[in-house]
Amino acid sequence: MKPQEFRRIVILTGAGISAESGIPTFRDKGGLWEKYRIEDVATPEAFRKDPAFVLEFYNRRRRDLLKVKPNAAHYALARLEREYPGEVLLVTQNVDDLHERAGSRRIIHMHGELLKVRCEGCGHVFKTEEDILTTTPCPSCGKKGTLRPHVVWFGEMPFHLEEIWQALQGCDLFLAVGTSGTVYPAAGFVEIARRAGAWCVELNLEPSAVADLFHEHHYGPATKVVPAFVEGLLQRSKNFDTG
Ligand code: NAD
């Protein structure tokens, strides 16, 4: 690892960090998209064509999410935020809430949240663990047939991009965890951070599509490599603190 103290860390996480909790990733064998076609469930066009089918897909994912727990990798990143003397910002592509359940607080969900629903009529966003049907009324405006998952579908703009861009410009350590480097704009974050002078580290099961852009790589299951990397970072920060 680069011999310097890091003051601002930005961590990008993807589906791989939640895989060992039992949430299928997008592209791995047995992943979600072997069973569903993206165009049928994760685009605005699909929702317009068959809202009941799309809502049921997300109802099922929401129910599955309530049955799983954070793993050692989620806990390690929460510990890093708590104990690291510098700033730590987590940017996740995941729509699950496992980072929050593990204790992370400074977190941006750039692709939305499965446990939130939005009314396309009045814009109201609310938390729910319940199934959403085409007949479910919006709790704010009362309209039916206007509720949709508060997630970013293919062809839609991710949330909070300006805030993320600012953080990437100002970070000196960029970590990418469990992400394949194939979904943009997240896959391009390493380039922004690298150009801004950050040390870039990839923690993944295998080399991602953008692996060459990272200075350092640790390959293996997230529950092993993330806690080990965080432990190293915290140990080094203690040495810096004590001179
Ligand atoms: P992806 O499926 O494209 O890639 C997952 C990556 O994780 C792969 O590179 C794979 O090698 C790696 N991986 C698999 N198991 C791992 C493990 N045990 N430890 C470490 N790494 C492991 O996922 P992505 O890059 O996040 O793709 C982006 C899209 O996936 C986003 O739009 C995101 O919203 C969506 N997604 C989210 C969830 C979730 O919320 N948990 C689940 C599936 C997909």
Atom of ligand 1 nearest to the CA of 222: 19
Per the structure block, which two tokens stand in for 45?
């066009």
Torsion over CA of 211, 214, 216 and 219, rounded to 10 degrees? -30
Name the catalytic one among 74, 99, 109, 111. Answer: 111
Residue of 25, 62, 69 to test ligand 1 pocket, by largest number of atoms within 8 Å of CB: 25
pLDDT digits (tens, 9 = 90+) for 130-157: 999 999 999 999 999 999 999 999 999 9
Give the three-class secondary structure for 23: coil
Taking the CA of residue 27 as reference, the ligand 1 atom at the shortest distance is 2
Question: Which residue matches tokens 């690892």?
Answer: 1
- Note if 111 is an active site residue: yes
Which atom in ligand 1 lies closest to the alpha carbon of residue 114?
40
Q: Choose among 78, 94, 91, 87: nearest CA to 165.
A: 91
Tokens of 98: 């496992």
Q: Cβ(183) to ligand 1 under 6 A?
A: yes
In this predicted structure, the answer to whether residue 24 has a pLDDT above a threshold of 90 is no
Tokens matching residue 2: 């680069």
- pLDDT tens, residue by residue, 95-133: 999 999 999 999 999 999 999 999 999 999 999 999 999
pLDDT confidence tier of residue 4, bands split at 50, 70 and 90:
low
| Residue closest by Cα to atom 8 of ligand 1 | 180
Task: Out of 21, 26, 61, give the residue to mutate to test ligand 1, the one with the largest number of ligand atoms within 8 Å of its CB.
Answer: 26
pTM of the predicted model as reported, rounded to 2 decimal places: 0.95
